[in-house]
Amino acid sequence: MTNSDEDVIDVRGDGRVGENPCSPVRRTDGDGGEAAAPEPVALPPVRLGRITVPTPVVLSPMAGVTNWPFRVLCEEYGPDGLYVAEMVTARALVARNPKALRLCRFAPTERVRSLQLYGVNPSITAQAARIVVDGGMADHVDLNFGCPVPKVTRRGGGSALPWKTDLFAELIRRVVEVCEPAGIPVTAKIRVGIDHGHETFLEAGRIAQEEGCAAVTLHARTTAEYYGGHSDWSRIGELKAALDVPVFGNGDIWGADDALAMVRQTGCDGVAIGRGCQGRPWLFADLKHAFAGSPERTDPTLGEVCAVIRRHARLLVEFYDGDERMAVHDLRKHVAWYLKGFPVGGSTRKAFMECESLADVDRECGRLDPSVRLPSRVADKPRGRVRFAKKVHLPYGWLDSRTTTPAEREALFGDDPMDASY
Ligand SMILES: Cc1cc2nc3c(=O)[nH]c(=O)nc-3n(C[C@H](O)[C@H](O)[C@H](O)COP(=O)(O)O)c2cc1C
């Protein structure tokens, strides 16, 4: 989608691109009977500035995962939601780092181009936003205040940043000042806090709203919780009750019924899904059905999964400008997720990890039994990262005060990373 002068962008469009190789299958209750229709859950459209999101279901940004090939797969299955690109480091974008620029690419079929920026320095992040606006590069900008990775938090970024309320407010304000006049809504993605002794989400949500964010997404874990345990959805309900702008709930949606449960339990305006769709872009089809009140769920055979793998590989070759080797290397982690739970032996998995070309991928897919189905016990179960942080890494003395001193800012801004992502 490109920017237009239209007042409102409605992401509902016509025509789907490409082929969706997984056939929907009506899920049964295990005894051969049809599953009961779930209680309908109302999820009205969400307005983000001039963007209307008819079904507020979000592909949560994931570094190394949500580049356009994966987003396209999810969006083809999914509802008219938001499919967010992985975080791009503001400083790398300002430096026109080629890897950062690649992460900012969108497929022509993407209805809303959602980009996520990560920065610590408000001035550099505003410069990155200026590049996005002047280059007509995106329709929506999300700001990353949720990353728990030590490399990020030890520089005061990601989920460490909302602790410093002055810096947090200034960063949002500066980005909104650049994006708002261009009609580009800005949203913020936050965690509950650094740990339970240092919670920030209610204050951060209010600040984000005051500074002009169109919505806030809460991943209901602290930095210390990293990806361990279960996220505390009650926090999403608390934030929803405290804010006027829409709140997207995030954390531990492994199947479409979890999404319904989160909306029911928290009253959130939309849901964001990360790990649950790793190796399962068709989860978005389930989400579409679930929010339309249908019990229909996707239950692909291994043959259908292989069709998705092969298509994903080809999209990645386009993403890497024809470099098959880079594409197939990127595909490896996805293949591990795609095959998770299928009765596929270690030697086959290893063979996929050694693929160097599309022909290799096709050959390995051809060796699998296409009729096998995923055992239902693994269908909607946790996948991807699932551990607690060993330790939270923060800049020296970070927790001593809620605001930054000039010396602290100088140290932080000099340390702003140049890598495109993490
Ligand atoms: C591999 C991976 C990469 C991630 N990268 C980002 C990122 O770039 N930006 C961001 O805001 N969150 C990132 N996240 C966090 C997810 O967007 C999401 O908030 C988190 O996984 C919790 O949601 P889930 O339980 O549905 O996975 C990442 C998570 C994972 C597992």
Task: Please indicate, yes or no, if residue 236 is contained in any of the structural domains.
Answer: yes
Residues serving a catalytic function are: 147
Identify the domain boundary among 241, 268, 295.
295
The response to whether residue 219 sits with its C-beta less than 6 Å from ligand 1 reads yes
Count of domains for the chain? 2
For a ligand 1 pocket test, name from 59, 60, 258 the mutation site with the most ligand atoms within 8 angstroms of its C-beta: 60
Closest ligand 1 atom number to CA of residue 142: 11
Residue 390 CB partners (closer than 8 Å, separation 6+): none
Task: Please tell me the predicted confidence (pLDDT) of residue 18.
Answer: 43
Residue minimizing CA distance to atom 11 of ligand 1: 144
Asked whether the predicted pLDDT for residue 9 surpasses 70, the reply is no
Q: What is the CATH number for 66?
A: 3.20.20.70
CA distances from 6 to 323, 346, 398, 403 (A): 38, 53, 45, 40
CA distances from 36 to 33, 117, 265, 323 (A): 9, 42, 20, 47
Residues 186 and 201 in one domain: yes
DSSP designation for 259: H
Give the Cα separation of 143 and 122 in Å (integer). Answer: 11
Residues 178 and 71 in one domain: yes
**Are residues 216 and 168 in contact, defined by beta-carbon separation less than 8 angstroms?**
no
Task: Please indicate, yes or no, if residue 411 is contained in any of the structural domains.
Answer: no
The H-assigned helical ranges of 31-89 are: 68-77
Q: What is the 3-state secondary structure (H, E, C) of 103-165?
A: HCCCCCCCCCCEEEEECCCHHHHHHHHHHHHHCCCCCEEEEEECCCCHHHHCCCCHHHHHHCH
Percent of all residues in the chain with a pLDDT value above 90, rounded to a whole number: 82
Residues 311 and 172 in one domain: no
Residues 102 and 55 in one domain: yes
Residues 269 and 345 in one domain: no
**pLDDT tens track for 250-292:** 999 999 999 999 999 999 999 999 999 999 999 999 999 999 9
Q: What is the largest CA-CA distance in the chain?
A: 67
225 Cα: distance to centroid of ligand 1 (angstroms): 13
Could you identify the residue written with the tokens 């809460």?
218
Residues 95 and 210 in one domain: yes
Asked whether the predicted pLDDT for residue 14 surpasses 70, the reply is no
Task: Please indicate, yes or no, if residue 31 is contained in any of the structural domains.
Answer: no
Closest ligand 1 atom number to CA of residue 231: 25
CA 284, chain centre distance (Å): 13
The response to whether residue 328 sits with its C-beta less than 6 Å from ligand 1 reads no
Identify the domain boundary among 272, 295, 318.
295
Residues 273 and 322 in one domain: no
Task: Please indicate, yes or no, if residue 363 is contained in any of the structural domains.
Answer: yes
Residues 255 and 307 in one domain: no
**pLDDT tens track for 176-200:** 999 999 999 999 999 999 999 999 9
Give the Cα separation of 249 and 84 in Å (integer). Answer: 15
**pLDDT tens track for 29-75:** 444 455 565 567 989 999 999 999 999 999 999 999 999 999 999 99
Residue minimizing CA distance to atom 1 of ligand 1: 62
290 Cα: distance to centroid of ligand 1 (angstroms): 22
The response to whether residue 88 sits with its C-beta less than 6 Å from ligand 1 reads no
Residues 182 and 325 in one domain: no
Residues 262 and 362 in one domain: no
**Torsion (CA) 175, 176, 177, 181 in degrees, nearest 10:** 120
Residue minimizing CA distance to atom 19 of ligand 1: 219
Residue 264 CB partners (closer than 8 Å, separation 6+): 39, 41
366 Cα: distance to centroid of ligand 1 (angstroms): 32
185 Cα: distance to centroid of ligand 1 (angstroms): 21
Identify the domain boundary among 379, 395, 415.
379
275 Cα: distance to centroid of ligand 1 (angstroms): 7
Q: Which domain holds residue 338?
A: 302-379
> Which has the minimum average pLDDT: 55-64, 372-381, 412-421?
412-421
Task: Please indicate, yes or no, if residue 28 is contained in any of the structural domains.
Answer: no
CA 150, chain centre distance (Å): 19
Task: Please tell me the predicted confidence (pLDDT) of residue 15.
Answer: 32
The response to whether residue 62 sits with its C-beta less than 6 Å from ligand 1 reads yes
29 Cα: distance to centroid of ligand 1 (angstroms): 31
Task: Please indicate, yes or no, if residue 13 is contained in any of the structural domains.
Answer: no
Confidence category of residue 339, pLDDT binned at 50, 70, 90: very high
Residue minimizing CA distance to atom 4 of ligand 1: 62
CA 393, chain centre distance (Å): 23
Residues 66 and 191 in one domain: yes
Task: Please tell me the predicted confidence (pLDDT) of residue 19.
Answer: 52
Task: Please indicate, yes or no, if residue 229 is contained in any of the structural domains.
Answer: yes
For residue 191, the SS3 value is strand
The response to whether residue 283 sits with its C-beta less than 6 Å from ligand 1 reads no
Residues 177 and 129 in one domain: yes
Task: Please indicate, yes or no, if residue 310 is contained in any of the structural domains.
Answer: yes
- Summary mean pLDDT of the chain: 91
Percent of all residues in the chain with a pLDDT value above 70, rounded to a whole number: 89
**Are residues 37 and 292 in contact, defined by beta-carbon separation less than 8 angstroms?**
no
Give the Cα separation of 73 and 70 in Å (integer). Answer: 5
